[in-house]
Amino acid sequence: MNYEYLLFDADDTLFDFPKASSRAFDAMCRTHGIPYTPEAYQLYHEINLELWAAFDRGELTKEFITLERYVRFLKALDLERDPAACNRDYLAALGEGVYPLPYAEEVCRELKARGHRLYIVTNAVASVQRSRLRGSVFAELFEAAFISEEAGAAKPSRAYFDYVRRQLPGLSADNALVIGDSLSTDIQGANNAGLPCCWVNPAGKPRREGLRVDYEIASLRKLLDIV
């Protein structure tokens, strides 16, 4: 065993977040009488991405983002709806959207059987992520989920991984591997924390200069050959 502790990102590493988000957005639109179109969802998606990018840079809080995205979305469409209610209903629907990515369950079951210790490391909204994990096959496979909202810090900050280390005193740079799809949060976070990392890159995106990537895989199945 190369790595006892496996720290997995959740969205777009284990869970199909675009599918869950699209369906939750559709449910929110139906609840609030907002016409659902691909263009409307794309507008929301672009606003959301811009705000979360600012969060990753440490410029905005999660509480601000989750409300502001609907403030901007409704303003862009000149719709009079309650943004807080739209966000609340979107998050509730998102918490029920459990769509594991291909091979995620298969790989995690095999890793668990081999004796690895599996954990979630995520910046997601705590209530949503807890709900999704409870309703997923991963509930029995992962020992704990470390969520930025509860940690008081977020990936990619060193403070977030220091929090994880305090919860797992046996974890070290020699026995832990961070696994995720995001260069800016997962891989940068592992770099900041001095931990080995594995970039899940099914789309074949280019690497970022100056960023250490210890392993790169196009499919989670390849992780079985590394750990």
| Residues assigned a catalytic role | 9
Distance of CA 120 to the CA centre of its chain: 9
Q: How many CB atoms lie within 10 A of CB 218?
A: 12
Burial letters 201-210, b for 16+ CB under 10 A, else e: beeeeeeeee
Q: How far is residue 171's CA from residue 110's CA, in Å, rounded to a whole number?
A: 21
Question: What region, left, alpha or beta, does residue 210 occupy, with left being phi > 0 and alpha being psi -120 to 50 degrees?
Answer: left
Amino acid in the structure at residue 73: F
Backbone φ and ψ for 118, nearest 5 degrees, come out as: -105, 135
